[in-house]
């Protein structure tokens, strides 16, 4: 499926990647790959099976048997069961970042992500979309924002979903997750050399979407 256009959006949690990526995909009529959801589902399945999150070979062996599917919006199905809401908690995000540090887990999820590539194009959101999974992507974006702004956004998202949240605990968790994601040996969070780096701290979602669309029009002519 190489040849099918890809826009990658990598960056730390809360930088707006998911919202921006979904809107972009909708505007272009393309599919949206939420790769973070794959790591979250994997962590959830491991926890459900009572596995130790440090046991990378047990978790990697579990992956081929997982039946993961994306529904519309935030919907994610594991074995046909809706798990979207369970995935969006901070606990699931932290557990995901633990399993994501294992190279064998990353390797087991690699082909699933590449197989997701389909015409007319995809927008892929994650940490290593432009560096590892789709290094041939035509447009690569690295989206950042300050820790304080990301904690504020996450707080708002959680409260809107009716979930419990505490802004200073969120800040701490975000900083801890950033450290784990950027310092790990396997596919650490970093901007691809050819990525457009955007700091969204003072930008609206619409501004970020328009900026990336302009880049896509210029490079991909779409
Ligand atoms: O993006 P999201 O917050 O859903 O990702 C959850 C965790 O999954 C991240 O903190 C990161 O450790 C991991 N992840 C990753 N590679 C990706 C996407 C997510 O390592 N491509």
Instruction: State the pLDDT confidence band at 163, using cuts at 50, 70 and 90.
Output: confident
CA 162 to chain centroid, in Å, comes to: 22
Q: In testing the pocket of ligand 1, which one of 68, 100, 112 has its CB within 8 Å of the most ligand atoms?
A: 100
Q: What percent of the chain is modeled with pLDDT above 90?
A: 83
Three-state DSSP at 184 gives coil
Average pLDDT over residues 99-119: 96
Ligand 1 pocket check for 40: Cβ under 6 Å = yes
Q: Once rounded to an integer, what is the mean pLDDT over residues 25-53?
A: 97
Structure tokens of 138?
Answer: 């035509």
Q: Whose CA is nearest to atom 2 of ligand 1?
A: 36
Using pLDDT thresholds of 50, 70 and 90, give the confidence band for residue 14: confident
**Ligand 1 atom closest to residue 17's alpha carbon, by position in its atom list:** 1
Per-residue pLDDT at 1 exceeds 80: no
Average pLDDT of span 157-174: 90
Q: Which two tokens stand for residue 177?
A: 């997750």
**pLDDT tens, 130-150?**
999 999 999 999 999 999 999
For residue 27, is pLDDT > 90?
A: yes
Helix (H, G, I), strand (E, B) or coil at 82: strand
> Domain 6-220 class?
alpha beta
Among 179, 182, 152, CA closest to 167: 152
- Look at residue 72 in the predicted model and tell me its pLDDT: 86
Lowest mean pLDDT among 33-37, 69-73, 81-85, 165-169: 69-73
Residue 41, pLDDT > 90, answer yes
Distance CA 142, CA 125 (A): 10
**CA-based angle 10:41:158, to the nearest 5?**
70
Quick check: CB of 23 below 6 Å from ligand 1? no
Q: Which whole-number Å values give the CA distances from 221 to 8, 18, 40, in the listed order?
A: 16, 23, 34
In this prediction, residue 146 carries a pLDDT of 95
pLDDT in tens, 51-85: 999 999 999 999 999 999 999 888 999 999 999 99
Secondary structure (3-state) at 9:
strand
pLDDT for res 158: 85
Mean pLDDT, residues 26-38: 96
Which amino acid residue places its CA nearest to atom 11 of ligand 1? 97
> For residue 133, which atom of ligand 1 is closest to its CA?
21
Domain boundaries, the chain: 6-220
Q: Report the nearest-CA residue for atom 12 of ligand 1.
A: 97
């Amino acid at each position: 499926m190489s040849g099918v256009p890809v826009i990658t959006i990598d960056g730390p949690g809360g930088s707006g990647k998911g919202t921006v990526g979904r809107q972009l995909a909708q505007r272009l009529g393309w599919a949206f790959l939420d790769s973070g959801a794959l790591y979250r589902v994997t962590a959830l399945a491991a926890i459900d099976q009572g596995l130790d999150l440090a046991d990378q070979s047990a978790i990697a062996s579990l992956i081929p048997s997982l039946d993961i599917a994306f529904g519309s919006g935030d919907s994610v199905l594991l074995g046909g069961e809706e798990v979207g809401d369970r995935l969006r908690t901070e606990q699931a995000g932290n557990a995901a970042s633990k399993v994501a540090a294992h190279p064998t887990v990353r390797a087991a999820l690699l082909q699933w992500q590449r197989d997701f590539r389909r015409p007319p194009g995809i927008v892929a959101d994650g940490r290593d979309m432009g560096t590892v999974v789709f290094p041939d992507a035509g447009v690569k974006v690295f989206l950042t924002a300050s820790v304080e702004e990301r904690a504020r956004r996450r707080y708002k998202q959680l409260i809107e979903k009716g979930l419990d949240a505490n802004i200073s605990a969120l800040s701490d968790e975000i900083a801890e997750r950033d450290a784990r994601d950027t310092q790990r040996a396997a596919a650490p969070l970093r901007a691809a050399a050819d990525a457009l780096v955007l700091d969204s701290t003072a930008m609206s979602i619409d501004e970020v979407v328009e900026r990336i669309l302009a880049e896509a029009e210029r490079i991909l002519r779409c």
